[in-house]
Amino acid sequence: MSDCLFCHIIDGSIPCEKVYEDDQLLAFKDIHPKAPVHVLVIPKQHIDSLADLDNKHQALMGYLTCRLPEIARQAGLNNGFKTQIHTGKAAGQEVFHLHYHLLGAPA
Ligand code: AMP
């Protein structure tokens, strides 16, 4: 989606501090961290929010969720981590490209 900030991060036109990347996912450091380690994990496929998921997203979202422990380890979160997803403006979502927040402190 051309006017989406995170799609621009995926295509490289906006820089990011990359933590993990594969053909389906990108993880990068949040620009305004709310914890010592704060990483955003996004699917490369544009999906506005969790509210837009349906059955066709099962494999992608299952894959994304199963990669979180490895991404957390790569970010230095060896002592547990918190996950957060904001869905909709009223819930605090600012960027409408589905993303997990991964938050914690290195061990
Ligand atoms: P949310 O409120 O769940 O939509 O979170 C959006 C997150 O994106 C916020 O925590 C922002 O700090 C973060 N953010 C916004 N712009 C950038 C950027 N260019 N690079 C990294 N993180 C960003």
Whether residue 2 is predicted with pLDDT greater than 80 in this model: the reply is no
Structural element, H or E, at residue 40: strand 37-43
**If you measure from the C-alpha of residue 30 to the centroid of ligand 1, how many angstroms do you get, rounded to a whole number?**
6
pLDDT tens track for 53-102: 999 999 999 999 999 999 999 999 999 999 999 999 999 999 999 999 99
Q: What pLDDT score was predicted for residue 85? A: 98
Hey, is 5 helix, strand or coil? Answer: helix
Q: Which residues line ligand 1 (CB under 6 A)?
A: 5, 14, 16, 30-32, 40, 86, 92-95
Exposed e or buried b per residue across 13-32, where buried means at least 16 C-beta atoms within 10 angstroms of its C-beta:
eeebeebbeeeebbbbebee
Look up the pTM and report it.
Answer: 0.97
Whether residue 107 is predicted with pLDDT greater than 70 in this model: the reply is yes
pLDDT tens track for 15-45: 999 999 999 999 999 999 999 999 999 999 9
Hey, is 107 helix, strand or coil? Answer: coil
Residue 96 has phi, psi (to 5 degrees) of -90, 60
**Ligand 1 pocket, mutate which of 32, 49, 86 (most atoms under 8 A from CB):** 32
Please report which confidence band the pLDDT of residue 49 belongs to, taking 50, 70 and 90 as the band edges: very high
Q: What pLDDT score was predicted for residue 1? A: 64
**If you measure from the C-alpha of residue 3 to the centroid of ligand 1, how many angstroms do you get, rounded to a whole number?**
15
